[in-house]
Amino acid sequence: MTGLAQPGLASFEPAYADELAVLLRWAFEEIQREEGQSVYFRLSTRPIEQPRRTVDRDLAAAIVAGAYWLREPASNAELAIAYCGAVAPEALAAHQAVAEDIPGAGLLAITSPDRLHRDWRAACVGGESSVAERLLTRLRPGAALVTVGDFHPATLSWLGAVAGNTIVPLGVDRFGQSGDIPDLYRAYGIDTDAILDAAARACLTALQQTV
């Protein structure tokens, strides 16, 4: 992602219009602060069904911080799917299918891999808990985690190190294909079926590690 790791630049990739509204309000305030940053948005023109919800203060703060549970996991859940951006429909469909076999699986919406990662690095140095750690410690230690976005898999693969999760990162590691979005997502292995396959692999690996 072009906006990642740029000094003085906060990078976001919201999936929904209400997330973008929150982030734009924050961005206009941020760029006017004396020591504020520039703000980069990676947006998609893909039509996505929008959630019907009220964005309260806690949710707005979580959106700005970089991530929140779109579907809350049960305590000590065995699996979570973390997605970012326009792959939200595929992640939602995969979570719905997984939840039939793994009740309590979580669905983590990531609005900023950039801010999550910077916060985690700062917390490691300062000895404090990070946003990512507080979210992922809801899961069982070593639980399976699948990450997915239409960017390089390494963009979110670091999440496996935050709380020791068994991770399978999905993403785009080549280019040159053409076609509509479903065909491209299938070709790059970031469609619903690919997420379900990754969840099965992650859960199997996590189970083997506990034996």
Q: Which residue has the tokens 């992602």?
A: 1
How far CA 191 is from CA of 92, 119, 121, 183, 198, in Å, comes to 11, 29, 30, 9, 11
Residues 6+ apart with CB under 8 A from 179: 187
Residue 116: both structure tokens together: 């999550």
Cβ(73)–Cβ(139) under 8 Å? yes
pLDDT at 171: 96
pTM: 0.94
3-state helix, strand, coil in the chain (%, to 5): 45, 20, 35
Q: List average pLDDT for each run of 10 residues in the chain, which is 211 residues long.
A: 68 97 97 93 93 96 98 96 97 96 96 95 88 96 96 95 96 84 92 97 88 58
Q: Which amino acid is at 172?
A: V
Q: What is the pLDDT of residue 5?
A: 59
Which 3-state string (H, E, C) describes 116-155? HHHHHHHHHHHCCCCHHHHHHCCEEEEEEEEEECCCCCHH
Tell me the two tokens of residue 210. Answer: 């506990």
pLDDT at site 211: 58
d(CA 67, CA 84): 9
Cα separation, 138 vs 93, in Å, equals 22
d(CA 132, CA 124) in angstroms, rounded, equals 12
- pLDDT confidence of residue 61: 98
Nearest to 75 by CA among 116, 103, 94, 109: 103
